[in-house]
């Protein structure tokens, strides 16, 4: 920012000061050399006033324009005095510089007023020594000074516009970064809520149930069941937390990779299609658990069957299917109704997903089993948390 032409940074300030010093020395030398010998003392006095005014004005920043105005007025007064007394001394130079500096360094209205006054006084100054012939020359010098001032102000305006554009761009970048930070924070807050708040409150309810059962002398098996459920929820919450942390760190394994490994470990075929999109950790975990449960069921109830895991990322939904060709001998118990399938169905419902399970009539032998989970990409529950408990109980006393 400080490198823009009109606001020299510290690295350029010494050059500016040196330039000013050289100008003043040249002005002083010219004044002394050119002024008539009888005016030399007065010329040096006028020059001294100019120098003091210039030094005073330069010490003040843009906010202190009145001090700048005073300094410039003193500077111009020295020049006008020289002009009024001696036609040869370069008083016109100080007047010209004062006009340029006034227009460039003062607020617009004050600058115009100051420059106008200096122009009038400069043009009239030769009349003080009865030299009307110098008036057109002074008017020309003032005109030249105005042209220089216009050029300087034009380049300054361009620089200011460039600086404003840069500032606007910077501020837009900063607000976009701030927006991203806020969105990221909200995502983290949502994930913490979805995982921890849900699993912890569910455990609280289960443990409260276990305590009530104990208080009322219930059978140990009933109490144990509640504790086992609470324990399973704690493990589940821990696993989801681990995955959420992995995902936030950006080192979570892609779901497709996880499913491919699961299928390979179970000697199942793996078919994938479509372009994967990122899933929230609870959703990814649900898909993984569904496939795991499907593979376990297939091994248990259809030993020796060919099992295929199909993952399809369609435009609007992710579909995951575990299909087996059925065992040579009918299984002793049907796979439906076990806790695994019930748990899977509950998980799916929480995500607004659909879980279809049942005999696979379309298979080659027509005796296989099929589990199919369809997870909408932006279902009705997309705006709400995917793992909050979906339940309500109606009661009458």
Partner 1 sequence: MVRDGIQLMLSLVGGVDVVALAADGEEAVAAVVAHDPDVVLMDLRMPNCDGATATRRIRAEHPRTQVVVLTTFADDADVLDALRAGARGYLTKDAGV
Where does this chain bind partner 1 (CB under 8 A)?
Answer: 193, 197-198, 201-202, 204-206, 208-209, 212-213, 216, 226, 229, 233, 346, 349-352, 379-381, 384-385, 388-397
Q: Rounded CA gap, 78 and 93, in Å?
A: 11
Could you tell me the smallest distance in angstroms from the CB atom of residue 297 to partner 1? 21
* Nearest to partner 1 of 11, 391 (CB atom): 391
* Nearest to partner 1 of 163, 346 (CB atom): 346
Could you tell me the smallest distance in angstroms from the CB atom of residue 358 to partner 1? 20
* Nearest to partner 1 of 274, 379 (CB atom): 379
Could you tell me the smallest distance in angstroms from the CB atom of residue 290 to partner 1? 17
Could you tell me the smallest distance in angstroms from the CB atom of residue 384 to partner 1? 4
Is 153:104 a contact under the CB 8 Å cutoff?
yes
* Nearest to partner 1 of 61, 380 (CB atom): 380
* Nearest to partner 1 of 315, 392 (CB atom): 392
Could you tell me the smallest distance in angstroms from the CB atom of residue 340 to partner 1? 15
Could you tell me the smallest distance in angstroms from the CB atom of residue 203 to partner 1? 9
Q: Rounded CA gap, 95 and 235, in Å?
A: 87
Sign (positive/negative) of CA torsion 117, 118, 119, 122?
positive
Could you tell me the smallest distance in angstroms from the CB atom of residue 216 to partner 1? 6
* Nearest to partner 1 of 129, 224 (CB atom): 224
Is 312:318 a contact under the CB 8 Å cutoff?
yes
For residue 196, what is the DSSP state? Answer: I
Count of CA atoms in the C-beta half-sphere (13 A) of 358: 4
* Nearest to partner 1 of 113, 234 (CB atom): 234
Q: Rounded CA gap, 256 and 264, in Å?
A: 12
Could you tell me the smallest distance in angstroms from the CB atom of residue 351 to partner 1? 8
Burial class (CB in 10 A: 0-12, 13-18, 19+), 367: middle
Q: Residue 21: CB partners within 8 Å, gap ≥ 6?
A: none
For residue 358, what is the DSSP state? Answer: E
SS3 259: helix
For the chain, how big is the Rg over CA atoms in Å? 44
Q: Residue 386: CB partners within 8 Å, gap ≥ 6?
A: 194, 280, 282, 283, 350, 351, 352
* Nearest to partner 1 of 312, 389 (CB atom): 389
């Amino acid at each position: 920012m400080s490198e823009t032409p009109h606001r020299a940074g510290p690295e350029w300030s010494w050059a500016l000061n040196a330039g000013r010093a050289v100008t003043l020395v040249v002005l002083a030398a010219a004044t002394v050399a050119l002024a008539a010998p009888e005016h030399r003392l007065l010329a040096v006095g006028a020059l001294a006033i100019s120098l003091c005014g210039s030094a005073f004005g330069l010490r003040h920043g843009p906010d202190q324009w009145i001090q700048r105005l005073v300094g410039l007025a003193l500077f111009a007064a020295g020049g006008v005095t020289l002009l009024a007394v001696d036609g040869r001394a370069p008083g016109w130079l100080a007047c010209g510089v004062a006009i340029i500096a006034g227009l460039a360094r003062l607020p617009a209205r004050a600058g115009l007023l100051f420059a106008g006054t200096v122009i009038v006084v400069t043009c009239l100054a030769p009349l003080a020594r009865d030299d009307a012939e110098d008036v057109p020359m002074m008017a020309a010098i003032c005109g030249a000074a105005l042209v220089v001032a216009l050029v300087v102000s034009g380049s300054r305006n361009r620089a200011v516009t460039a600086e404003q554009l840069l500032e606007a761009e910077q501020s837009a970048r900063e607000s976009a970064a701030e927006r991203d930070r806020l969105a990221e924070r909200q995502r983290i807050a949502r994930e913490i809520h979805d995982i921890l708040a849900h699993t912890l409150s569910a455990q609280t309810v289960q443990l409260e149930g276990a305590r009530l059962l104990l208080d009322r002398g219930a059978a140990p098996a009933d109490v144990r069941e509640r504790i086992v459920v609470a324990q399973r929820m704690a493990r589940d919450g821990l696993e989801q937390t681990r995955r959420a942390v992995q995902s936030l760190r950006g080192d979570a394994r892609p779901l497709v990779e996880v499913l491919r490994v699961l299928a390979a470990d179970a000697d199942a075929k793996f078919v994938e299609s479509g372009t994967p999109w990122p899933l929230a950790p609870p959703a990814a975990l649900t898909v993984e658990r569904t496939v795991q449960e499907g593979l376990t069921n297939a091994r248990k109830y259809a030993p020796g069957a060919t099992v295929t895991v199909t993952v399809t990322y369609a435009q609007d939904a992710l579909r995951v299917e575990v299909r087996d060709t059925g065992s040579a001998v009918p299984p002793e118990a049907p796979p439906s109704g076990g806790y695994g399938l019930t748990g899977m169905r509950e998980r799916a419902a929480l995500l607004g997903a659909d879980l279809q399970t049942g005999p696979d009539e379309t298979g080659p032998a027509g005796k296989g089993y099929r589990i199919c989970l369809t997870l909408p990409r932006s279902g009705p529950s997309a705006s709400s948390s995917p793992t909050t408990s979906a339940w309500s109980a109606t009661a009458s006393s």
